[in-house]
Structure 1
Amino acid sequence: MKRASISTKMIVLLIFTSVMTLVINVMMFLNINQVLVQIEQVYATNVQLNEMTEELDKVHSEMLEYLKTRDSNVLQEYYISQQNLSEQLALVQEEKMDRQTSVLKNNIYYLGKNYLKVSEEAVKAKRGRDVQTYGERYEEAGKIKEYLNGYISSLNNIQFQGNSNNYLLLQNSLYYMEVVGTIMFFVVVLCDTVMVVMMTRRLTRPLKILSGRAKEVTAGDLSVDIPVFRTGDEVESLSKAFDKMMGSIREYVEAQRVSMEKENEMRENELKTQTLLKDAQLKYLQSQINPHFLFNTLNAGMQLAMIEDADKTALFIENMAEFFRYNLSRINEDATLADEIRLVDHYIYILNVRFAGDIHYKKEIEPGLENVLVPSMILQPLVENAVQYGIRGVEWVGWVTLRIWQEAGTVYIEVADNGRGMSQELIERVLHGENVKNRKNSKSNGIGVYNVLERLQMYYTTEDVLEIESDGEGKGTRFTLKIPKEVRA
């Protein structure tokens, strides 16, 4: 078997072990099974006699119960027990052994039959209301029962003595078979162990050497020498394949090194291009805030200057200047929520000057969130949208509410109004930018909102940044921004 494969060697060893184990197990099984059958039969006669005694007691007690109560159910149970006792007596009569036990069995059988006859006469006398007869038969049955129990006890003792001797012999036989089986088992195990040790030594020594070389390769040493073992089996094939693989790895590593240098150079150029493109997109989107607002506010300032004193005009111009200064200075920078809130305050003041205080505005800001960093100009477009397309022109008092709170690692910014509301169809169009893509009217609802949405999605690299809710026409609209809490100044 020197040139045989490992699988062939293992199969031969497995077949040898299996055959030997099977032979031992079959021999042990047959012998032990035979002994167990004999052991099971040893005390069967004692069990049978004990059952007969119990059935005899049952017949007698049920007969007495019927004589007392004359209950039909008890009578039925009596006849069942009587039949069982009769069958057991027949079994005792069939088994013939030595002379002494045969005499006892004959006595038990005929006394049992006589007992059944007398007990039946007692029952019939009871059914015929013959009090004297069933009393006499009951006493006679009791005496027969005592003699019968005595014979059964004697037979039981004799058979138990013989069965005990037989049991000891069978137990010794079983122990002998266990010893022989154990010895044979250890002989097979010893043979298997010797063959396995010899085979594993021829197998594991080359594998250990190859494993050591593999660890050196894993550590980064690709110059190791791989030995080829002439074992004539899979180990030889493995060592040859390992040696060939190492040659291929060296060639592949060199090719990959050259390729990675070129790929890194291309990736750096691509990252630079993507960074420039993203920066240009952010600047373009931030510059899309509607310029018409500038002209409207300037016109309002001019009208106010004509009809009021200089103080109010100065305050108006100051708010307007702060508003535009923020827009121009923050166009390419991040801002804090405090800066964004101040911008909304300036914007609301300017609008209330324009619309004679018709816009009611309130804030609910959770403390500690003022320094959260966000892209600039994300709140004012939402407030402008709430005023322009929510509460402007409604017949009731228009409110704009700004709420900021944090929950589960996220900062929520809500701009809500009690104005016209939005249909679900319009909400979907705004969220998907359809109002921007179809820009026949530059004042169409959703341009500023989509501007904010797209900038936030690019800034935080996630789609889930804005939620728009409305309960229907005339029930207002809620715009909710979702900002990661960890982005702080």
Structure 2
Amino acid sequence: MNSIQRKILTMSATVLFIMVAIWVVLTYYNQKTQEQYNDILQRYLRMNEATDRSHQTISALNDYLLKPSSVKLETLKLTQAKLLKAKEGIALLRNVDNAFTLTSYINMIDSLVETSNLSVMFEEQRNPEQSAVRFEETTRIDKYITETTLTLIDKEVRTYDHFYRGIIGQSEKLKQLGMWLLSLITIILLLFTYWFSLSITKPIHRLTLAAKELSRGRFDKQIEIHSNDEISFLAKTFDRMRININNLISEIQQKAQLESELQQSKLLLKESQLRSLQSQINPHFLFNTLDTLSKKAYLDGSEETSDLIASVAGLLRYNLRRLDRAVTLQDELSVMLKYIEIQKARFTDRLHYVQEIDDSCLELKLPCLTLQPIIENAIIHAVEPLEDGGLITFRIRRDGNEAIIQIEDTGDGIDDKTVKRIMEDGPQSESQGHSTGIGFSNVVKRLRLFFGKEDVISIHSAIGQGTLVTIKIPFTEVQDDHAQAAASR
């Protein structure tokens, strides 16, 4: 079943549902009214039935007294039983308006049955005078019952007069409701028909406009049709065709542009190759040059300058290593000390450096360029901005199965928000001012990736209290053997 057929079936089902709902509502109200009317009619019938049973009892008693027989006596007993049964039905009609009258009515029925039995008894005792008296009393009670029946019926009529009027008013309201429902259904069907036709004709109209745009050579306008039927599928297919044609045209234009650029590139190829050769600098040539300058400074008697140039050459050579290679803590410490020497030449007495090193930890492995960026960050923020400089303390100690590396400075410190940003994402300007280009957050990420845990590095700092960076390197079995061998040496 396709989507358009589903829409038609949905419309038909909606109309059918509305009609069924109206029929159910009207049937419910009609049934309710009919039940109330039947209930009132049953009340009248029960009262008339009691009167009829009373008359039948008087007639059966009269027949028996005129010519007594067992058959007539049986007939009398049967009519009395029917009268008593009718009395039970009368008792169910009690309400606030007829309670007293209905009680007297029931008592009269009991008196009629009792008096008729007395009349029969006196007849059986051969006392016709008393039997006749009881018969007259029974006849009088029957008249009272008839009059009381009329009285009760009159009360019922007055009681349920508002109901009859309500039925008439309800009929009028049902007529008005029918008119309103008819109008409402008409409006809903018109709106639904309009929406249904629009959901089919509008996409077709858009598809027609898109086809006209394509015929004019405009392949950059997207075809958007929001529907869930076959027209949407047709529009998507049409749009893919537009995209393919547009891509083909773009490829042809790019190829033409590339051919044009290729011709120009051929003309400038030799010149660009020459300039490229002139601009290349071999890193080994740079190292050799620095070594030559270091030796020349040494020969000229500038030993400090020679040592400084040698430190710069060693630092550059170390920084050109691949960052994904692991190195020993000894290697990191060596390059860090060269960096400290270079910075001491820059800051002289403003840079104070103290270290406490446990040699048993120097063979542990860690990522390349881990310590130098942290020291560099401490110098930039704890030494450079202060007129009196600052103190940097570097410690390596073993604590159980871990090597604890601590780098502490006496700078102004940083707030918790900045610490959190460094540990999570790192500030965007963090790498500015670093000679290596390796930022603090980059060190954090590489340490976590190398050791496979998050708590490998931590920062403790507060404004005005300096900063303490702690790195925890676990001792593996292999690393522990190397460390013990180094300690024994």
TM-score, length-scaled by structure 2: 0.37
Structure ranking higher on relative contact order (CA contacts 8 Å, 6+ apart): 1
